Structure 1
Amino acid sequence: GNRDPYRANLGAFNLGYSPVNGTRISLTFRAQQTTSAAPSLGFAAVYDDPNNFLYNENYFGKFGVTSNLFNGLLTTELFVAELQNDLVNKNLLDAADPNAQSNNDHYHGYRTDVQWNNTIHVPDFGPAQFSSVLFGVEYINDHATESVNDSGPFVASINASQHSIAGHFGVQTTLYNRLTLTGALRDDAVSSFGSALTGRVGAVLALPEADLHLKTSYGTSFLAPSLFDLYGVDSYSGFPYMGNPNLKAEHSTGFEAGPQFDIPAFGQADFISLSATYFADNISNLIQNVYINNNTASTEANIGKARTSGVETALVFTPTSWLSADITYTYTYARNLSAGTALTRR
Structure 2
Amino acid sequence: MIPFSILDLSPIVAGSTPTQALHNSLDLALHAEQLGFNRYWVAEHHNMPGIASAATSVVIGYIAGGTTTIRVGAGGIMLPNHSPLVIAEQFGTLESLYPGRIDLGLGRAPGADQVTARALRREATDVDTFPQDVVELMHYFQPDESNQFVQAIPGVGLAIPVWILGSSLFGAQLAAMLGLPYAFASHFSPTQLMRALEVYRSRFKPSEYLKEPYAMVAVNVVAADTDQEAERLFTSVQQQFLHIRRGKARQMQPPVDDLTALWPDYELAGIEQVLSCSAVGSPETVQRGLANLIEQTKADELIISVPIYDHQARRHSVEIAAQVRDELTKGDKKLAAL
TM-based fold match above 0.5: no
- TM-score norm. by structure 2 comes to 0.23
More strand by proportion, 1 or 2?
Answer: 1
Identify the structure with bigger relative contact order (alpha carbons < 8 Å, sequence gap 6+): 2
Compare CA radii of gyration and give the structure with the larger one.
1
More helix by proportion, 1 or 2?
Answer: 2
